[in-house]
Structure 1
Amino acid sequence: MALGNITSVRKGPAEFASNLVIRALIAAALALPYRWRIPLAGWIVSRIVSPLAGYDKRIRENLAHVMPDLPKAEVDRLVRQVPNNAGRTLIEIYSGTDFTARFSDAPLTGPGVATLETARDEGRPVLLVTAHFGNYDVPRAALIARGFRVGGLYREMNNLYFNPHYVAAMEQIGTPVFPRGRKGLSGLIRFLRDGGMVGILIDQYMRDGVPMDFFGQPAPTALSAAELALKYNALVVPIYGIRQPNGLDFEVVCEAPIPEGSAEDITQALTTSLEKQVRRHMDQWFWIHRRWKPDRKIRKRTG
């Protein structure tokens, strides 16, 4: 069973230089008090990194593809606020104990909270399905702080130099973490069989994925989470770390478990759940992703 695309590793001079710049910026931000470093990182990514990297253009293209009638003022706002949330998220993940301490008592709301508590007591495996929305590591941090055994599945970075310290940052929040693909699959399965909970993100374009309706357009999506749940009798619970108006705090929303069904039905239900959350908080989803890739012909998975 494949857990999505295998990362294309790059390790040339450009990647090395990019990694040095990013690490320098992260180190400078971490020297500041938490309440200052988070908005600063958001401002840097929004006002400097995003225009230079072409993120502004990509956000506009994605919005035009799925919401062509969105008012220009709202598009302009999202062009600034989406990278701001991305910058905040990155430095939060690198903030280690400052980050985990802040969310040890983050409110957990929604009908899925009782489900998670029962699953923990019964030792039943759970797939916590989220997305690049709000801060995707807040649910993991908040649940670990409350005594839940939560692992994480991550996609290795394309930049060979950046990946090791990014993984180390995630491990400061909690372990175990498993790389996407064959390398991490065996460990993830053992953890699930032992009654663990694993966080999975499902909102990236997958070349060999199955098209799911997302904002009215087909978005190729991996069926991995649903297939794991069906094979190992795991509950599937959508969960989101939603940034609050002060820009620093979060609410963890645990939705009701997805009903049993086919892998395609479960995955579409998860995609629909995400769309509803994004529509409520448009500036918190990572519109920078090439989620639809409308210039490419969508190929249904065969076999």
Structure 2
Amino acid sequence: MHKQLARAKARLREAAKPLGEAAVGAATIGMLRTTRYFDPVKTANLFGRVTRFIGRRLREDRVGRENLTAAFPEKSQEEIETILAGVWDNLGRFGAEFAHLDHIWDYDVDHPEKDSRVEFGARTKQLFDQLRDDGKPALIFTSHLGSWELPALGAVAHGLDCAILYRRPNSESADRAIERIRAVNMGTLIPAGRDAPLKLAEALKNNQHAVMLVDQYLTNGVEVTFFGRKTRANPMLARLLRQIECPVHGVRVIRLPGHRFRAELSEEVKPVRDAAGQIDIQGTMQAVTSVVEGWIREYPDQWLWLHRRWR
């Protein structure tokens, strides 16, 4: 009897799954469409306040606190709570800005004197122009820091041919809604999956620039040290580099006061090689991870501490 009841519950959950996904997709579409009718700055302020209020009552808040306490043992509990509040604020603002992705990047390279929400320094512009004009492929990594969807917008807006790895939502209808926004001007989108490495390698062979997030835990990844603790990183970037050697750079878009952003490209991250001169997968991913850690130490309240980076 117990087994029959368990099977019936399983069948019921499976039957209800499409309805749940449809509801999530409808809610996502509705939220994105509604948000677009309102001023993006005011909406970002509102979403920041809402997520600060709601987020502090969620399980992820405890995860973030534990992560921050372990990463910054020298900080007081008051400092930890201040950073965590900023994390929720940044997440809310990111959600509001996502609905306006098609016009949030307003930097005019031909008229840099014009007021813009986006700024970047002379060295970043020099590195960007070099990547765009050298006719070569490149690997570009980023992290869940600041406004992490904006680097792709900026790249395409200024002529950098990109293939961007992204993770699809579990809901197909939500995925379609989000993909329609991302597809406005974000380059070639490659969903994460078994064939993603092949597609990214093909993009590099075609002299495109492969872009990916590198700061999430991967069970079967290579071991790296992050904030003094062992964790696992996705080795895809280093494995692609073994196939097609090319420059590696990091990119971040930091949130500034006054609803502004600063885009920054790192200097080239040199790969680590083994005794035979071949790309060392683990060593190279450690080099990349160390760059990301340096970014986060500068702006700890703008990184997504809410997921389990250490297991």
Same topology, TM > 0.5: yes
1:266 is aligned to 2:284:
yes
User: Counterparts of 2:185 and 2:105 in 1: how far apart (Å)?
Assistant: 6
1:230 is aligned to 2:236:
no
Please give the secondary structure, in 1, of the residue aligned with 2:218: coil
Match in the other structure for 1:26: 32
Q: What is the CA distance between 1:258 and its match in structure 2?
A: 0.9
Q: What is the CA distance between 1:19 and its match in structure 2?
A: 4.1
Q: What is the CA distance between 1:38 and its match in structure 2?
A: 1.8
Equivalent position to 1:182, from 185, 194, 200: 194
What does 1:48-87 align with in structure 2 at a 5 Å threshold? 48=54, 50-87=55-92
Q: What is the CA distance between 1:159 and its match in structure 2?
A: 3.4
Q: What is the CA distance between 1:134 and its match in structure 2?
A: 0.7
Corresponding letter in the other structure for 1:251: R
User: Counterparts of 1:47 and 1:103 in 2: how far apart (Å)?
Assistant: 36
1:43 is aligned to 2:36:
no
Change (3 A) 1:102 1:120: closer
User: Counterparts of 2:32 and 2:107 in 1: how far apart (Å)?
Assistant: 19
Change (3 A) 1:264 1:124: same
The alignment yields a C-alpha RMSD, in angstroms, of 2.3
User: Counterparts of 1:290 and 1:84 in 2: how far apart (Å)?
Assistant: 19
Corresponding letter in the other structure for 1:268: Q
1:216 is aligned to 2:220:
no
Contact residue 124 and residue 234 of structure 1 kept, 8 A: yes
Match in the other structure for 2:136: 124
Match in the other structure for 2:95: 90
What does 1:93-242 align with in structure 2 at a 5 Å threshold? 93-101=98-106, 106-109=118-121, 111=123, 113-242=125-254
Instruction: Show CA shifts across 1:43-81 (max 9, x none).
Output: 222222x24542211211211232234211112112221
Q: What is the CA distance between 1:22 and its match in structure 2?
A: 4.1
**What is the number of residues matched between the two proteins?**
282
Give the structure with higher Rg (CA).
2
Change (3 A) 1:103 1:184: farther
User: Counterparts of 1:225 and 1:110 in 2: how far apart (Å)?
Assistant: 27
Q: What is the CA distance between 1:214 and its match in structure 2?
A: 0.6
**TM-score, normalised to structure 1's length?**
0.84
Match in the other structure for 1:298: none
Unmatched tracts of structure 2, length 5 or more: 1-15, 113-117, 273-279
Equivalent position to 1:250, from 249, 255, 261: 261
Change (3 A) 1:45 1:118: same
Match in the other structure for 1:297: none
Contact residue 127 and residue 265 of structure 2 kept, 8 A: no
Please give the secondary structure, in 2, of the residue aligned with 1:220: strand
Instruction: Show CA shifts across 1:142-176 (max 9, x none).
Output: 22221111221101223344222222222123221
Instruction: Show CA shifts across 1:239-283 (max 9, x none).
Output: 11111122x221111111111322222211111111111111111
Q: Percent identity?
A: 24
Change (3 A) 1:113 1:237: farther
Change (3 A) 1:25 1:118: closer
Change (3 A) 1:76 1:225: same
User: Which piece of structure 1 moves more, 256-265 or 160-169?
Assistant: 160-169
User: Which piece of structure 1 moves more, 189-198 or 91-100?
Assistant: 91-100
Instruction: Show CA shifts across 1:153-205 (max 9, x none).
Output: 10122334422222222212322110112243333222211111121100001
Q: What is the CA distance between 1:208 and its match in structure 2?
A: 0.3
User: Counterparts of 2:151 and 2:66 in 1: how far apart (Å)?
Assistant: 30
User: Which piece of structure 1 moves more, 146-155 or 111-120?
Assistant: 111-120
Instruction: Show CA shifts across 1:280-300 (max 9, x none).
Output: 11111000111112xxxxxxx
**TM-score, normalised to structure 2's length?**
0.82
Contact residue 228 and residue 234 of structure 1 kept, 8 A: no
